[in-house]
């Protein structure tokens, strides 16, 4: 009788191919919001919108926030949230500028230091969340405040410039080199704007980490069902601490990029960047409940946010209306890119 | 960007009647002072029929936003660019890019760290701070205690308004600043700070607010404590709006305020000159006017733009 | 036979509860030891200690003659101990393969190997699912088998199964037995917890009985009555106490031509043209293999999903519930299949959960009359003999069987006229099972209609006036009380229609 | 023998009393953070801190945010989040000031209008969350932007004063009456500051709603387990929409209070108040996962935040160190007031 039982073939080869194509289409769905904005940009401003310089400028302006968004995505995937990334970017940028101004360090010395500073505070976030079991919202909100205070204190509330001139009136070699982090106009091969490159590289690296490594799998497991993960031998505490540390490290890395972009480290740098970063992740499909989201999604979310700004700006929409339209389009984009859109429109479908 | 000449950019418009397009990036629309500046700039530029001002771009206090706004304007190949930088350093490179693209740049209100701009127009915050200090010295002939409500600590105007003020009150060693806090330019932040100062039972003779809203926020707290009559309030900005500093002086809430000139009129004139190939002064530093009970009504009328736009 | 596992004088306390007190247990290689005991006896707690769920406990554990300290699931795995937990513990957003190898991956994932290993394991359990299927798309029975596969994926010396069959129907259960025999043949020791005594007869070499957190005794043979006596501390009468053929009244529920579309990838079975009726005072059973659509049928009647076609009447009036709320208003109750996901707010109290659907009864001037509410809940909870320190106890900390009783209490408080039960005795001890059966009988006797889906055929055979058999969303047979056998039902349950796509 | 079986009595009277006392003590635990701050205040500033005027001032400054926190608590209890409350307060305050300045309306006319405006936007939040199934974080973030844009547009970016003088140079009767909403110095019986009163009344009303009504139960059920709630006859959609609407309504109500406090409606009013409101709720023990939290807790959370500010201010701590210390004390307060603190300190206890 067992033969009859095994009969229902769950995966006929033909069906499986169709299924896969369908699910790939479903993934394509995720880009509809972005396509919509690109379409509007091209329709309204054509060449002015769709040219390398403009797109580079647009994405470059968001690059440091995009990098924050990658870190925040990691944290969100485990079911937490990181509100401190804006402040951590701030202290990262201040660290970079001070290292440059006071100690004339080279970029390759500055970056690891900034990343270490960010990672340290990120680790504290993780420790508070995992060991003291403080809700990450509270822990990182407190960190936001603490780090901002420290940032302002070490800088004495004065912004620190990064375009340090030597005795000859020209930029010092270190200051010159520092500009590659993203002072507008400094490009690789005269074409590729470094912060955009950095953002893309960070996205690729963390995409690979999340999809190809054990650690990535554990991140999803912790967010998807922490109990199940624990019972399967996943070290939930370690994973939690790791994602916060990585998020802090990335924020530290974004610091010099922001400092170079502004050619100075402002004690207020990064203020409320956390909201942009979280928005990019969530628009990209990450669920604040944890366990659901991808770096590709976050990348798309970041593009949506920054290109939307760009399109509205190029169209010279007044700022107040920009705020209104931006909110509306984000809603439309999020609705359009849900994977079950068609099913949803047909009505039905229950939670 | 392939360096188009500034006037060549309007080729697309063709025809005899050429209209110049001007972009303006404002650091933060939602401060009363800046809203006033916007209003005035629109008003004065309207008087030049061949100049079109694009909708004002609001950086919402974010340098990153402002840099991309300037870049947007460069992309749009505007004929002239006005920028009120949030902070000097961040905008430097962007202004340099505009300069490289041969777009004339007028820096309004706050400076940038490059010489590659066409004109700077702005007030002198150290000067205004000094005037406020001198007024404090005048108001407190026998010396006294001052509390200071600062703007956002790292903002250059905050630094300058503090510096000038302290320089001026040094004239009377019996005047002391007994406390200072960051009110972040916001009225609602100033009230509880003032309440705490009052709770500390110290003698307060004068409140110096880096802008009028903060001075007025402190006034509300003092009024509630029944101490408003014994304390003088000095602010800065002197906006001609119903909720602004000039009215507050008229009502006797502020002892004095100082008009921080918007420079809108000068900016409009300068833009016009530049676009028509005339020489414009590279650096125009504007003075200030003290608002007193006597001249308040007249100044209000002079600066009031409601109904004119 | 050599002893692989010795647990000595194990004790464990929770706030306000002494869950275990000096329990000892030894298991030999290739042996199947059954743990038996009432709900809340401490079986899961004892095994959770072995599996490293709790950091601390009293007593000693020896594996292979060596004293070991187990403080985390990782420790347990290192000593070759694997456990299938009573509550399903899978990550819904990950694939089957990811779940099975969760915690054992290599630093760099090796998709190919894990997926082919997964396919192998699934095949061994008779599951024909792609390793890439997401858990959230799997049915609850499939999930239970996936948990088994997960435990089998490791190199185990001791395998603990905490009610592995509570969601399985007979065919899958037998497949599981084959797997267990294969394992014991290779020297693996198995500790098996189940409330289905007939399973123990088939599979267990030895039965250890626990009561109130203590070791009571053990037997090598299975003497039903004796075991029950040991478990509950008193002899238990008839297991299925339903008098033959209760008198039935008016037609209460009538379903005609009900069809519900399935959703691809959601794990829901479509229903095709189902007709049935339930009379007042009647108990109607629904049988079928896993995925036959039993749950879907009950849920449709309860207004969870909107039927595409078909007519229903309830008490003679047309009945088309838009939502469970509407169904409840008409006096229908559903004891859902998955208590953790569908029935309980685990973080809240017994009282909160029990009164949730019936709050309307306790309103006075729009305000909940807490006194009346409490009194009613307490009465109901006591009647069902829920083992808990009080109604303010958090439901999530109750033993599985007691949680199920809270679910029953919750629905009884709505005073339904038609009660739909989906696996109502899942995870319930024999004593409680008898109580629930008695409860069903008395509900019927009060003139209520009962529609019960169950995977335990003896239960259906003994309790029901009529039994419907479903297969792939269609009714394939209907039997009257006393006119059928397990074999006949199974045959009908497998009477697949040739479907032309 | 049946007696043995029925033995475990569900609630033995003696045991129950002890239990109740214990659980009351456990609740007392929740106030430790607050007690700590009070103690520091009294220790450092004694009479200056612990006097009616100072405490009234401190709580009064937070009253409008406290009212937001109550609404946010409702939303958090259902497992959502409301980031738009700051903007809604802003538009509420602008509405109030404009109604007063342009139409000379009386307070009792202004309040319902402001509440209706807030409720309308709140309803849209709820509709987007419940019907369009947008994550509430995205939906309310979009609303934050839209409403702020509208606020700035209607006000033309200029603040609107509420101290409207008549032709005689004195305040108009309406403007005079409007001051009761909270212009400092306007008290009931010359003692009770109206905003504090309003905050407390709102807390009591919503405490009763949450604990005594069916709706309140449903709120907890939706946040605890939405599926179980739906299968228990709870209209999850309706509850979701209701909590967002109520949150919006409360934000609208907080608008005039904020306008009166500053004697003007600023187009930026309420900026980032949402963070304070959420922080109050979460410090008060609300879980962002939903289903856990109380109004009493939120009230305590609000007091902790505002009194902390006050204590630091009175002690003339510098602004930068205030940021640092505030973050640290919030962490300490949250750790101290966890109900399982003692168990936690003893080690043990899982997840
Ligand atoms: N985390 C916990 N906190 C408090 N009490 C607990 C906890 N876990 C279990 N208990 C209590 O310990 C006792 C034993 O529970 P356990 O789950 O071991 O029972 P069981 O024998 O497995 O019952 P069932 O057959 O119903 O699954 C019960 O009274 C239960 O309420
Ligand atoms: N993705 C899902 N979301 C919610 N419920 C699900 C999901 N997948 C499965 N289920 C549950 O499983 C049921 C599917 O079982 P179905 O009705 O097809 O078979 P059944 O005969 O009840 O068999 P069994 O319950 O033994 O698996 C659904 O009705 C639902 O209760
Ligand atoms: Mg158990
Ligand atoms: Mg079922």
pLDDT digits (tens, 9 = 90+) for C35-49: 988 888 888 999 999
Q: Which chains touch C (3 or more CB pairs under 8 A)?
A: A, D
Report whether pLDDT(C238) > 70.
no
Instruction: Report the separation in Å between the CA atom of C113 and the middle of ligand 2, taken as the mean of its atom positions.
Output: 30
Tell me what the mean pLDDT of segment A80-100 comes to.
94
Residue D231, pLDDT score: 93
Taking CA–CA distances from D83, the nearest residue in chain A reads A275
Answer whether D268 touches B (CB < 8 Å): yes
How far is the C-alpha of D291 from the C-alpha of A53, rounded, in Å?
Answer: 49
Residue D9 in this model has a pLDDT that exceeds 50: no
Res C239: pLDDT: 59
* Alpha-carbon gap: D36 to the closest alpha carbon of chain B (Å): 20
Per-residue pLDDT for D3 more than 50? Answer: no
Does the structure show a pLDDT above 90 at B308? no
pLDDT value, residue A15: 46
D238 touching chain A per CB within 8 A: no
Show the tokens assigned to B259: 């008009």
Is C328 in contact with D233 (Cβ distance < 8 A)?
yes
ipTM of the complex model: 0.85
DSSP string, C325-362: HHHHHTTEEEE-S-IIIII--TTSBHHHHHHGGGGGGG
On the question of pLDDT at C410 being above 90, the answer is yes
Of the candidates B240, B173, B259, B248, the residue with the CA atom closest to the CA atom of residue B215: B248
Q: Range with the lowest mean pLDDT among A15-29, A91-105, C27-41, C274-288? A: A15-29
pLDDT in tens, A234-267: 999 999 999 999 999 999 999 999 988 887 888 8
Q: How far is CA A307 from the centre of its chain?
A: 15
Q: Among C142, C171, C265, C268, say which to mutate for ligand 2: greatest number of ligand atoms within 8 Å of CB.
A: C268
Query: Closest residue of B to D50, CA-based?
Result: B199
Tell me: pLDDT of C146 over 70. Answer: yes
Cβ proximity of C349 and C392 under 8 Å: yes
The pLDDT assigned to A3 comes to: 33
Write out the residues surrounding ion ligand 3, Cβ under 5 A: C 44, 86, 400
Confidence at residue D351, expressed as pLDDT on a 0 to 100 scale: 37
Does C295 contact ligand 2 (Cβ within 6 A)?
Answer: yes
Q: What are phi and psi of C81, to 5 degrees?
A: -105, 130
Q: Which ligand approaches the C-alpha of residue C36 most closely? A: 1
CB–CB contact C93 A10 (8 Å): no
Structural contact between residues C131 and C119, judged by C-beta atoms closer than 8 angstroms? yes
**Does the beta carbon of A141 lie under 8 angstroms from any beta carbon of chain D?**
yes
What tokens appear for D336 in the block? 């101290």
Q: Phi first, then psi: what are they for C317, rounded to 5°?
A: -100, 150
Task: Give the mean pLDDT of C320-336.
Answer: 91
Q: What is the mean pLDDT of residues D153-167?
A: 82
Q: In the predicted model, what is the mean pLDDT of residues B233-253?
A: 89
Q: Which of C107-111, C204-208, C219-223, D302-306 has the lowest mean pLDDT?
A: C219-223
Which pLDDT value is given to residue A202? 96
Chain D closest-CA separation from residue A14 CA (Å):
34
Compare CB distances from D327 to A145, A288, A338 and report the shortest one's residue: A145
Find out whether B162 and B150 touch, Cβ atoms under 8 Å.
yes
Which pLDDT belongs to residue D95?
94
Structure confidence by residue, pLDDT tens digits, C275-306: 999 998 889 999 987 778 888 899 999 988 87
CA of C389 to the centre of ligand 1 (A): 12
Q: What angle, rounded to 10 degrees, do the helices at A136-155 and A85-103 form? A: 20
pLDDT (0 to 100) of residue B34:
83
Question: Residue whose CA is closest, atom 27 of ligand 1?
Answer: C400
Quote the pTM value: 0.87
To the nearest 5 percent, what fractions of chain C are helix, strand and coil? 35, 25, 40
Of all helices (H) and strands (E), which one includes residue D221?
Answer: helix D214-224
Structure tokens at C210: 């626990």
Residue B97 and residue A274 in contact, taking contact as beta carbons nearer than 8 Å = no
Instruction: Tell how strand B51-53 and strand A192-193 pair up.
Output: unpaired
Instruction: Spell out a b/e string for D171-184, using b for 16 or more CB atoms within 10 Å of the CB, else e.
Output: bbebbbbbbbbbbb
pLDDT for the residue A349:
41
Which tens digits make up the pLDDT trace of A292-351?
Answer: 899 999 999 999 988 888 888 778 777 788 888 888 888 888 887 776 666 666 654 443
Q: How far from B173 is each of B145, B207, B230, B286, CA to CA, in Å?
A: 11, 17, 21, 30
Is D327 in contact with A282 (Cβ distance < 8 A)?
Answer: no
Ligand with minimal distance to C144 CA? 2
Element (DSSP H or E) covering residue B244: none
**B142: burial class by Cβ within 10 Å (0-12, 13-18, 19+)?**
exposed
CA of C142 to the centre of ligand 4 (A): 11
Q: How far apart are CA C183 and CA B77, in angstroms?
A: 77
Task: Using CA coordinates, name the residue in chain C closest to D1.
Answer: C234
Q: What is the mean pLDDT of residues A150-169?
A: 83
Q: Considering only CA atoms, which of C44, C15, C34, C35 is closest in space to residue C402?
A: C44
Distances (CA, A) of A131 to A75, C428, D30, D335, D345: 16, 37, 20, 11, 11
Smallest CA–CA distance, residue D18 to chain C, in Å, is 12
| Residue contact B71–A57, C-beta within 8 A | yes
Q: Is the CB of C394 under 6 A from ligand 1?
A: no
Give the Cα-Cα-Cα angle A138, A140, A146 (nearest 5 degrees): 105
CA–CA distance, B248 with B213 (Å, rounded to integer): 10
Place A1 in a pLDDT band, splitting at 50, 70 and 90. Answer: very low
The atom of ligand 1 lying closest to the CA of C195 is 25
CA distance C8 to C22: 7
HSE, CB side, 13 Å, CA atoms: give it for residue D133: 16
β-partners of residue C67 are: C62
Contact status, residue A41 vs residue A310, Cβ threshold 8 Å: yes
Q: Which chain A residues touch D132 with a CB distance below 8 Å? A: 331, 335
**pLDDT single digits (tens) D253-262:** 999 999 999 8
In this complex, is the C-beta atom of D309 within 8 Å of any C-beta atom belonging to chain B?
yes
| Angle separating helix axes A295-314 and A319-336, nearest 10 degrees | 150
Residues sharing a CB contact under 8 Å with residue D231, sequence separation 6 or more, in sequence order = C302, C304, C324, C334, C336, C342, C343
Expressed in angstroms and rounded, the spacing between residue D46 Cα and the centre of ligand 1 is: 51
What pLDDT band is residue A80 in, cutting at 50, 70 and 90? Answer: very high
Name the residue among D258, D264, D310 with its Cβ closest to that of B243: D264
D268 token code pair = 């930026």
Residues of B in contact with A314 (CB under 8 A): 72, 75-76
Sign of CA dihedral C293, C299, C304, C305: positive
Question: In the prediction, which pLDDT does D12 show?
Answer: 41
Q: Kindly tell me if the per-residue pLDDT of D273 is higher than 70.
A: yes
Residue B57 or C284, more confident: C284
Give the separation between CA A67 and CA A89, rounded to whole angstroms: 10
Say if ligand 1 is within 6 A of residue C204 CB.
no
- Does position B7 have pLDDT exceeding 50, yes or no? no
What are D89's strand-pairing partners? Answer: none
Q: Specify the DSSP class assigned to residue B282.
A: S
DSSP code per residue over C190-231: EEEE-S-HHHHHHH-SEEEEEETTEEEEEESS--HHHHHHHH
Q: Is the dihedral of CA B2, B8, B14, B18 positive or negative?
A: positive
Asked if residues C396 and C347 have their Cβ atoms less than 8 Å apart, the reply is: yes
Question: Which residue has better confidence, D348 or C361?
Answer: C361
Residue-wise pLDDT for C394-407, tens only, equals: 998 888 888 989 99
- Measuring CA to CA, which residue among C461, C428, C27 is closest to residue C244? C461
Which residues in D lie closer than 8 A to residue A327 (C-beta atoms)? 141-147, 149
Ligand number nearest to the C-alpha of C166:
2
Per-residue pLDDT of C425-478, as tens digits, reads 887 787 788 888 888 888 888 889 999 998 888 888 888 889 999 888 888 888
Least confident of A184-188, A309-313, D293-297: A184-188
D6 part of contact set with chain A, CB < 8 Å = no
Q: Is C40 in the pocket of ligand 2 (CB under 6 A)?
A: no
Q: Where are the beta strands (DSSP E) in C52-186?
A: 58-63, 66-68, 81-84, 158-162
Average pLDDT over residues C100-121: 87
> Cα separation of D243 and B10, whole Å?
54
Atom of ligand 2 nearest to the CA of C286: 21
Confidence of residue B1 (pLDDT cuts 50, 70, 90): very low
pLDDT score at C15: 75
What radius of gyration do chain B's Cα atoms show?
21
Q: What is the mean pLDDT of residues C230-253?
A: 68
Residue D310 is encoded by which pair of tokens?
């006050």
If one counts every other C-beta atom within 10 angstroms of the C-beta of residue B13, the result is: 11
Q: What pLDDT, on the 0 to 100 scale, is given for residue C462?
A: 85
Quote the minimal CA–CA distance from B270 to chain D in Å.
26
Tell me the pLDDT band of A271, cut-offs 50, 70 and 90.
confident
Of D137, D287, D288, the CB nearest to A282: D137
Looking up tokens 């289409």 gives: A25
Across chain C, what does the average pLDDT equal? 85
Degrees, nearest 5: CA angle B278-B284-B288:
140
Backbone angles phi, psi at C349, to 5 degrees: -85, 170
Mean pLDDT of B285-291: 88
Output the pLDDT for position B309: 45
For residue C404, give the ligand 1 atom closest to its CA.
Answer: 26
DSSP string, D298-324: HHHHHHHHHHHHHHHHHTT--HHHHHH
Number of Cβ pairs closer than 8 Å across C and D? 112
Q: Give tens-digit pLDDT for D23-36.
A: 444 456 667 888 88
**Assigned token pair, D232:** 């228990």
Instruction: Report which protein residue has its CA nearest ligand 1's atom 19.
Output: C40
pLDDT of residue B13 exceeding 60: no
Please tell me the distance in Å from D114's CA to the nearest CA on chain C: 27
Which residue in this structure is represented by tokens 């009379």?
C279
C90 in contact with chain A, both atoms CB, cutoff 8 A: yes
Report pLDDT for A342.
Answer: 64
Quote the minimal CA–CA distance from B106 to chain D in Å.
23
Mean pLDDT of chain A: 83
**Cβ pair D327:A143 closer than 8 A:** yes
Q: Does the CB atom of residue C343 touch ligand 1 within 6 A?
A: no
Q: Provide the pLDDT for residue D179.
A: 81
Q: Where are the alpha helices (DSSP H) in chain A?
A: 2-5, 13-29, 32-49, 52-77, 85-103, 107-130, 136-155, 173-178, 194-212, 214-224, 226-231, 236-262, 273-283, 295-314, 319-336, 341-345
Helix or strand holding residue C477 (H, E): strand C474-480
Whether the per-residue pLDDT at D144 is higher than 90: the answer is yes
Residues from chain D that touch B196, judged by Cβ atoms under 8 A, are 54, 57, 310, 313-314
């Amino acid at each position: 009788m067992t033969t009859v039982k095994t009969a229902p073939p769950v995966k006929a080869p033909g069906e499986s191919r169709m299924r896969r194509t369908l699910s790939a289409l479903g993934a394509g769905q995720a880009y509809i919001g972005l396509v919509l904005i690109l379409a509007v940009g091209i329709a309204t401003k054509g060449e002015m919108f769709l040219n390398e310089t403009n797109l580079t400028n647009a994405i470059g302006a968001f690059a440091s926030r995009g990098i924050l968004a990658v870190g925040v995505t990691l944290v969100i995937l485990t079911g937490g949230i990181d509100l401190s990334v804006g402040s951590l970017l701030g202290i990262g940028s201040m660290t970079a500028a001070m290292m440059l101004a006071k100690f004339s360090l080279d970029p390759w010395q500055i970056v690891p230091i900034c990343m270490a500073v960010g990672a340290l505070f990120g680790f504290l976030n993780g420790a508070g969340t995992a060991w003291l079991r403080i809700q990450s919202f509270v822990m990182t909100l407190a960190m936001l405040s603490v780090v901002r205070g420290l940032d302002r204190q070490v800088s004495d509330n004065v912004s620190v410039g990064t375009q340090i001139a030597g005795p000859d009136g020209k930029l010092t070699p270190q200051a010159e080199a520092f500009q590659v982090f993203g002072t507008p106009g400094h490009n690789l091969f005269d074409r590729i704007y470094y912060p955009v490159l950095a953002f893309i590289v960070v996205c690729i690296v963390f995409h690979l980490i999340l999809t190809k490594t054990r650690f990535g799998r554990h991140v999803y497991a912790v967010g998807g069902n922490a109990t199940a993960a624990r019972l399967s031998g996943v070290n939930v505490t370690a994973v939690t601490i790791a994602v916060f540390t990585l998020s802090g490290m990335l924020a530290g890395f974004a610091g010099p990029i922001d400092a170079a972009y502004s050619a100075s480290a402002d004690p207020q740098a990064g203020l409320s960047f956390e909201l942009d970063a979280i928005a990019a992740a969530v628009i990209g499909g990450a669920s604040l409940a944890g366990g659901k989201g991808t770096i590709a999604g976050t990348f798309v979310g970041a593009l949506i946010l920054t290109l939307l700004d760009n399109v509205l700006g190029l169209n010279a929409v007044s700022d107040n209306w920009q705020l209104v339209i931006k909110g509306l389009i984000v809603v439309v984009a999020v609705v359009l890119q849900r994977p079950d859109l068609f099913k949803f429109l047909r009505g039905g479908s229950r939670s | 960007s392939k360096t188009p000449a500034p006037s060549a950019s309007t080729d697309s418009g063709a025809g005899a009647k050429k209209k110049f397009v001007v972009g303006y990036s404002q650091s933060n629309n939602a401060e009363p002072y800046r809203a006033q500046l916007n209003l005035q700039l629109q008003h004065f530029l309207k008087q030049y029929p061949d100049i079109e001002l694009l909708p004002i771009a609001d950086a919402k206090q974010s340098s990153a936003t402002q840099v991309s706004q300037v870049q947007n304007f460069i992309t749009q190949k505007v004929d002239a660019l006005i920028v009120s930088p949030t902070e000097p350093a961040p905008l430097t490179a962007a202004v340099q890019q505009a300069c490289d693209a041969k777009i004339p740049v007028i820096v309004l209100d706050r400076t940038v760290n490059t010489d590659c701009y066409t004109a700077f127009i702005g007030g002198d915050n150290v000067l205004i701070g000094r005037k406020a200090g001198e007024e404090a010295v005048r108001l407190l002939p026998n010396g006294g205690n001052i509390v200071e409500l600062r703007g956002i600590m790292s903002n250059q105007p905050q630094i300058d308004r503090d510096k000038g003020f302290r320089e001026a009150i040094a004239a009377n060693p019996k005047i002391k600043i007994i406390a200072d806090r960051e009110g972040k330019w916001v009225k609602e932040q100033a009230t509880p700070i003032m309440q705490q100062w009052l709770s500390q039972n110290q003698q307060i003779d004068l409140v110096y607010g880096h802008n009028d809203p903060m001075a007025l926020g402190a006034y509300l707290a003092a009024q509630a404590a029944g101490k408003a009559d014994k304390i003088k309030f000095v602010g800065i900005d002197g906006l001609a709006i119903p909720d602004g500093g000039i009215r507050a002086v008229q009502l006797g809430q502020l002892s004095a305020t100082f008009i921080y000139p918007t420079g809108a009129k000068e900016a409009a004139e300068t833009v016009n000159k530049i676009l028509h190939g005339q020489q414009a002064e590279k650096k125009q530093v504007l003075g200030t006017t003290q608002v007193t009970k006597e001249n308040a009504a007249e100044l209000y009328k002079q600066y009031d733009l409601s109904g004119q736009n | 036979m050599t002893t692989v596992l010795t647990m000595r004088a194990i004790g464990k306390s929770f706030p306000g509860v002494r869950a275990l007190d000096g329990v000892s247990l030894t298991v030999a290689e290739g042996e199947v030891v059954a743990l038996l005991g009432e709900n809340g006896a401490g079986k899961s707690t004892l095994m959770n200690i072995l599996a490293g769920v709790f950091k601390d406990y009293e007593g000693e554990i020896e594996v292979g003659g060596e004293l070991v300290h187990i403080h985390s699931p990782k420790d347990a795995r290192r000593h070759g101990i694997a456990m299938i937990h009573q509550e399903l513990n899978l990550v819904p957003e990950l694939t089957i393969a990811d779940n099975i190898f969760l915690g054992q991956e290599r630093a760099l994932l090796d998709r190919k190997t894990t997926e082919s290993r997964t396919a192998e394991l699934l095949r061994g359990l008779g599951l024909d699912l792609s390793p890439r299927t997401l858990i959230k798309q799997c049915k609850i029975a499939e999930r239970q088998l996936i948990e088994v596969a997960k435990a089998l994926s490791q190199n185990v010396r001791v395998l603990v199964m905490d009610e592995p069959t509570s969601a399985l129907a007979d065919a899958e259960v037998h497949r599981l037995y084959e797997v267990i025999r294969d394992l014991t043949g290779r020297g693996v020791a198995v500790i098996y917890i189940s409330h289905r005594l007939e399973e123990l007869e088939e599979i267990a070499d030895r039965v250890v009985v626990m009561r109130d957190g203590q070791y009571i005794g053990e037997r090598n043979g299975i003497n039903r009555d004796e075991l029950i006596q040991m478990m509950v501390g008193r002899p238990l009468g008839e297991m299925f106490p339903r008098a033959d053929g209760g008198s039935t009244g008016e037609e209460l529920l009538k379903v005609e031509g009900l069809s519900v579309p399935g959703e691809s990838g959601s794990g829901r079975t479509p229903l095709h043209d189902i007709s049935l009726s339930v009379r007042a005072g009647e108990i109607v059973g629904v049988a079928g293999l896993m995925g036959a659509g039993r749950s879907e049928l009950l849920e449709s009647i309860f207004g969870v999903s909107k039927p595409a076609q078909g007519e229903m009447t309830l008490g003679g009036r047309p009945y088309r519930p838009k939502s469970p709320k509407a169904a409840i208003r008409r006096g229908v109750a559903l004891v859902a299949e998955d208590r953790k996901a569908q029935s309980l707010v685990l973080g809240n109290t017994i009282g909160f959960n029990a009164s949730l659907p019936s709050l309307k009864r306790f309103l006075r001037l729009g305000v909940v009359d807490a006194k009346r509410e409490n009194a009613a809940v307490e009465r109901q909870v006591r009647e069902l003999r829920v083992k808990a320190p009080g109604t303010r106890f958090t439901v999530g900390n109750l033993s599985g069987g007691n949680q199920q009783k809270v679910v029953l209490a919750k629905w009884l408080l709505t005073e339904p006229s038609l009660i739909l039960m989906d696996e109502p005795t899942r995870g319930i001890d024999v004593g409680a099972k008898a109580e629930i059966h008695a409860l069903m009988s008395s509900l019927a006797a009060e003139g209520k209609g009962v529609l019960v889906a169950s995977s335990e055929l003896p239960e259906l055979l003994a309790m029901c006036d009529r039994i419907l058999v479903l297969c792939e969303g269609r009714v394939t047979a209907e039997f009257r009380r006393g006119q059928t056998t397990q074999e006949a039902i199974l045959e009908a349950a497998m009477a697949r229609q040739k479907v032309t796509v």
